[in-house]
Structure 1
C-alpha cells in the first residue's frame, strides 16, 4: 500500500523540525510540494533547504504542482463555500499527485508549514481523497512547531496566564466580532483584515510577529493603543517588499 506522511516543518526556521520530523523526512521516497507561484517562491525554497539539510544522501524525488487559487476576499456569507471550492480543487491536485507519482509500496510526504493540526487543510483533504475511493493509501501525521508557539518563544512570554484559558481565533472573526467577551488571552491567526486596528480603544497588550523564525522576522510588542499604527506600517512595508505576509499575534487583557 502507498503511504503518506504529513510532516509539520515549523514556522520558518529549518531547525524547527523535531527529531521525529527529521526521521520522517529520511524515510520518504517522494516529496509533494504545492507551489503558490513566484510571489511565494521562498516558501518552496525553504522546503528544498529542509530536504538538503535533513533528507540525507539517498535518492528521493520532489514533485511540484501549482496550488489552486483561493478567493480570499469572499464576504462572510460566501466564505465557507469559497473555502469548500478551494479544498475540492486542491484535493483534485493532491489526488493526481498520489495516483500518478507514488508507486505501490512507496512513501510520499507533504511538508506542512507550522503544525498540520492548526489552521491547515492537508488532513481534511487527504480524508476527502480517501472518501472518493479512487486512490488507496494510509497516512501518518508528524506534529510541528506552530507559528503560535514560535511567536510566544520569540517574545519570551506564555500564551496563557496561571489557571486561565487561551483562545485561538482568526482575523476575520476578530474583525467581525471584536475581542471575545470574557477572554483574557487571544491568539489571532490569518489576519488579512488587521482586526487589531479596531481594538485600539480596548485596554490590551499585543505581542505581534511576522515571518517568525525566518531571516525576515519582525517582532513588535506593547500596549495595543500605542503600537497598533507601528504594526500596521511594518506590515504594509513588509508585504510590499516580499509580496506576501504571514503574521500571528497574542492579545492580552491588561490588569
Structure 2
C-alpha cells in the first residue's frame, strides 16, 4: 500500500513550513507537483522553490502532472466540482502508478492546510486502491491574514464564522456572529451586502513577498480592494486573497 502524505505548506512562503513538514518531505520517495496551465505557472514554480529550499535528500524525486480545468458548461456548481474532483483523482492515480514501488511514500504539497476549504482529502478518498493518508498541518491563509494585520481572529468571548464568497453572495451575512472570514471569493461578494457600519481587513498573497493588505470601513475600502485585486491578478496571472468583515451591532 502506498503512503500519501498531504503536506500543508502555508501560503507559499517556505518559512511557513513546520519542522514536521520539512522532515516529511525529506523522508518521502516522491513529491507530486501539479501544473495549472500557463496563467498559473507561478504556483508550480512556488512549489518547486519550496522543494529546492528544504530538500536535502538527493533520492527524493519530483514528479509533475497537469491538472484539468472545471467544465464551465455544467450549470450546477456542486456537480461541476464533483466531476472536476473525479478527473483530478484519476490523474492522481495515474501519477501514483508511475512511481517505482507500491510501497513508496508520496507527498502532495497543499496550499494552507488540508482542513480548511480545501478538497485534497475528498479527492484522495476517491483513489482506488486507497492509500494510507497522513496529514501534515500547515499555516492557513486565515492565519496569514490576521498576522499581516496584527489582529485577533475573534472579538473578546465572541464567535466568528468562516464562510465563502459564494455563500455571502447567495445567502447574505451568516447568522450568529458579527465577525466573518470570507475565503474563495473571486467576485468580491462584499459588494452584495449593505456596507455601512462594517470594517474590513483584506489581504492578497498573505505571508508571501508580494503580500498586499488593505483595511478600513467597507464602504470606503471596497472600491480600492476591487481595483487593487484586478491589478494584482493581471500582474501575476493569479490571485489568492481573503478578508475579514466585522459588523457593528
CA deviations on 1:5-59 (whole Å, 9 max, x unpaired) are: 1000001211000111111111111011111011111111111111111111422
Q: What is the Cα deviation at residue 197 of structure 1?
A: 1.6
What is the total number of aligned residue pairs between the two structures?
A: 249
Gaps of 5+ in 2: none
The structure-2 alpha-carbon separation of the partners of 1:200 and 1:177, relative to structure 1 and needing over 3 Å to count, comes to: same
- Contact in 1 for aligned 2:12/2:47 (Cα 8 Å): no
Higher deviation after alignment, 95-104 or 149-158: 95-104
CA deviations on 1:94-123 (whole Å, 9 max, x unpaired) are: 111112225122111000011011111111
Q: What is the Cα deviation at residue 243 of structure 1?
A: 1.8
- Contact in 1 for aligned 2:158/2:177 (Cα 8 Å): no
2:34 matches 1:34: yes
- Contact in 1 for aligned 2:26/2:60 (Cα 8 Å): no
Q: CA RMSD in A?
A: 1.6
Gaps of 5+ in 1: none
Counterpart in 1 of 2:115?
Answer: 117
The structure-2 alpha-carbon separation of the partners of 1:74 and 1:196, relative to structure 1 and needing over 3 Å to count, comes to: farther
Distance 2:200 2:130 in 1: 46
* TM-score (normalised: structure 1): 0.93
- Contact in 2 for aligned 1:2/1:138 (Cα 8 Å): yes
Mapping of residues 204-223 of structure 1, within 5 Å: 204-223=198-217
Counterpart in 1 of 2:238?
Answer: 244
- Contact in 2 for aligned 1:4/1:108 (Cα 8 Å): yes
* TM-score (normalised: structure 2): 0.95
- Contact in 1 for aligned 2:26/2:57 (Cα 8 Å): no
* SS of aligned partner of 2:98: helix
* SS of aligned partner of 1:239: helix
2:187 matches 1:193: yes
Moved over 6 A (4+): none
Distance 2:73 2:190 in 1: 18
CA deviations on 1:150-182 (whole Å, 9 max, x unpaired) are: 100111001111111111111011111111234
